[in-house]
Structure 1
C-alpha cells in the first residue's frame, strides 16, 4: 500500500508509523538498488522532466512497504525543504524494489507489471513511469488509506461498490490484453498453486522450531488442504447463468481492503494490484465484506483485530450489491430486485473462498520464525481458518 508522505506502512498489512530516514542495509538490499545514489540516478533518467533536475535536488526517503518489497518516496527538493510542491516538474515518484522470497512467489511478477501498466494507462492504477530488472517507478498518490471503521459508512459502501464495478468492466474493453483476459479465475487456480506453496512452507516451518511445529499442528494444515475440492465446487454450484449473478469472470482486484482504498480529492482510488487478475466477480465483493471485520492498525499483539460482528448486515450487503449492479449492468437496480438477492447469495459463498485463500497466504508468508516485524502470520492464519469454519457451518446448515 501507499500513504501520504508523513506515513509509512510498517508491513504489508498496513501498520502505519511516521516516515523514517534511510536505515542500514537489510538482506533485501543486497543487490544495491536501494542505495540513495542509485535510486537518484535511475529516477533522474526515467521520470519525465527530471533529467533537467540536478541530482543533489532529489530527496530519497524510505517507506517500508512489506516483507517482499521496499518502497522509496523520491521528490524534487524545493528551496531548503523537500516537499517538491513548488516545482514545475513531477513533484515526487515512488521507487519500488522487488524482493525475493515466499511473497513474490504468490503471484506472477511479469504479469503483474503488465497489469499495472495497463491499469495505469486506463487511469485506474498509478501511472508507471519506468520499470527494470528488480525495480519500478510509479506515480505517487498523495492520499490517505481508509480505516476499517469507515468501510460500513453507507457513502463509502456506495463508492467502493461502484469502483469495484468499474474495475470489473475494464476486461470488456477492446484493447484489454488477451494475455490477461484469457487466464482462468485466479481464486480457483490459487486453491492449488497457493495450496502447494502452503504445504511446502508448512514443512519448512515445522522443521524450524518446536514452537512452529506445535502451532502448525493446532492449525492442522492437512485438514486445510483437504478443503480445496469441496470449496471449488461449492462456490460455483447452482449457476443461474444470469449476467451479474456473481459468476461472471471479470478483471478483479482480489485484495479490496482498507489499506488499498485511498481517499483522495478525486474520490476513492484503488492501489496495490499485485494479486489482481481474472476472477469471478463475487470474489471482490465477498473479500470486501470480510475485510470489514479486520483492522490492521493496532499497536498491540497480534497487531490486528478481528470482529466477526462487523460483517455487513443484510441491508448493507443489499446497498453494496445494488450500487455495484447499477454500475456493472449500467441500469437502474433497486435493493429488493432479484438480481441483488442472487448476487448477495453468491458473495456469501465466495466469502468462504476469501477466508480460505488468506489462510494459505498467511502460512506461505510465515517466515522461518512464526512472528516477524510484529505481525504474526500463523496467528492470522488461525483467525481466518476459524472464521472459515464458522461461516461454512452457517452456510451449509442453512442450505
Structure 2
C-alpha cells in the first residue's frame, strides 16, 4: 500500500499515470455523458448547526456561509465546464491508501471504487495531486511542483496517445493545457471534499474531525483560488 511519501518519489509517482490511463481508457470518452460526481444536489444535507455549542461556534466562525457556498458552486460549475477537459471514467478518490504497489511485479493497482463515476479527466489527476498533502495532517507545501507535474503529465499524455493510436509527439501546448486544467480542477477538489466533509460532520458515525477537515479544505480553496484562476489555457 502506498504511503504519502511514496507518491512523491519520482519512480513511484511516474508509474501511476499508466494505471490511471488504463482505468479510463477501458471506458473511452463519451462526449454526450455529463459528469456524475455531483454533490451539489445534496446541498440541503450540509451541516449548518450542531447540538453542541463548540461545533456550532466553529461552523459559524470558520466555515463559509451557505450563501457563499452556493455562489462558489455556481461560479465553479460554469467555469470548469468551459475548460475542455474530456469526460472519462474516473476513480475520484485516489488518495495514497487506495493505491496498492506490487513491488515484486513492479506495478500499482487501485482499490475502493465507491466514488468512481464519469467525471472530468482533470479532476481525477488534480484530486490525486492534492492527496500528496496527506489525510489526517494536511501539509500543502507537499503539493507537487510545476516541474514534477509536467513530468507526470508528459508520461500520461504519451501513454494516452499510444493507447488511442493518436500517435505523434506531445506538444508543449497540449502539456500546458492539461497542466492548467489539472490545477483548476485541483481547486475544485478542495471545494468538493470540503462540501463532502460538512455532510459527514452531520451524519457520519466515524470518529474523525470532519468539521476540522472541511475548514482546512475550504481554507486551501480560498487561499489558492486567485493564483489558480489567473492561469490561462494556451492559445
Which TM bucket (shorter chain)?
Answer: 0.7 to 0.9
Task: Give the aligned length.
Answer: 224
Q: Name the TM-score, length of structure 2 as normaliser.
A: 0.86
The structure in which a higher percent of residues are helix is 2
- Give me the whole-angstrom Cα distance separating, in 2, the residues matched to 1:238 and 1:287: 16
Alignment of 1:159 onto 2:15:
yes
Q: What displacement does 1:208 show?
A: 1.6
Whether the aligned pair in 1 keeps the contact of 2:132 and 2:144 (CA below 8 Å) is: yes
Q: Name the TM-score, length of structure 1 as normaliser.
A: 0.52
Q: What displacement does 1:207 show?
A: 4.2
**Match for residue 229 of structure 1?**
74
Deviations 1:115-156 (A, max 9, x none): xxxxxxxxxxxxxxxxxxxxxxxxxxxxxx201011121112
SS at match of 2:5: helix
Q: Which has the higher contact order (CA 8 A, sep 6+)?
A: 2
Q: CA RMSD in A?
A: 2.4
Written as runs of structure 1 = structure 2, the 5 A alignment for 1:21-32 is none
Q: What displacement does 1:292 show?
A: 0.7
**Match for residue 226 of structure 2?**
393
Q: What displacement does 1:368 show?
A: 6.1
Q: What displacement does 1:332 show?
A: 5.7
**Match for residue 149 of structure 2?**
317
Whether the aligned pair in 2 keeps the contact of 1:252 and 1:276 (CA below 8 Å) is: yes
Whether the aligned pair in 1 keeps the contact of 2:83 and 2:181 (CA below 8 Å) is: no
**Match for residue 376 of structure 1?**
209
**Match for residue 256 of structure 1?**
94
Q: What displacement does 1:171 show?
A: 0.9
The unaligned stretches of length 5 or more in structure 1 are: 1-144, 240-246, 297-303
Alignment of 1:193 onto 2:41:
yes
Alignment of 1:208 onto 2:57:
no
The unaligned stretches of length 5 or more in structure 2 are: none
- Give me the whole-angstrom Cα distance separating, in 1, the residues matched to 2:209 and 2:83: 38
Q: What displacement does 1:377 show?
A: 0.4
Q: What displacement does 1:323 show?
A: 1.0
Alignment of 1:147 onto 2:7:
no
Whether the aligned pair in 1 keeps the contact of 2:132 and 2:142 (CA below 8 Å) is: yes
